Amino acid sequence: MTLGALSYDIKLWMVNEKGEAVFGDGLAELLEEIDKCHSMLKAAKNLGMSYRYALHRITLAEKRLCELLVNRSRGGAKGGGFSEVTPCGKTLVARYREAQTELTKVLKSLT
């Protein structure tokens, strides 16, 4: 049997004390995009997801963490809303990306 070139790949997520998934790559990307454009709507569009789905992802994570990840101010009919990633959100992104980098190094060393 010829297996060809194989490598490892993993999916990483952070879980709370109840074992509930609260943070993964999709949410990290969403928070990074919100941090860039200061708008949940623009961030969602840039990532090809609906605003409703983006809001759901953030709200669910905030509920499971009991922490705010994004401060949001609503706009009106003419826009004007603003979103800002909280220090907690920025810390989670940094911790997640650091863990990803370290795990990638370990996996590369196995191939």
Q: What is the pLDDT of residue 4?
A: 73
- How far is 102 from 100, CA to CA, in rounded Å? 6
Q: For the chain, what percent of residues have pLDDT higher than 70?
A: 93
Average pLDDT over residues 68-95: 88
> What is the per-residue pLDDT across 34-78, written as a single tens digit (0 to 9) for each?
999 999 999 999 999 999 999 999 999 999 999 999 999 877 666
pTM summary value:
0.87
- How far is 53 from 44, CA to CA, in rounded Å? 8
The four Cα atoms 6, 98, 83, 64 give a dihedral, to 10 degrees, of 90
Q: Using the 8-state DSSP alphabet, how is residue 2 labeled?
A: -
Pairing label, strands 70-73, 82-85: antiparallel
Average pLDDT over residues 82-103: 96
CATH class of segment(s) 22-73+80-110: mainly alpha
Asked if the model's pLDDT at residue 31 lies above 90, the reply is yes
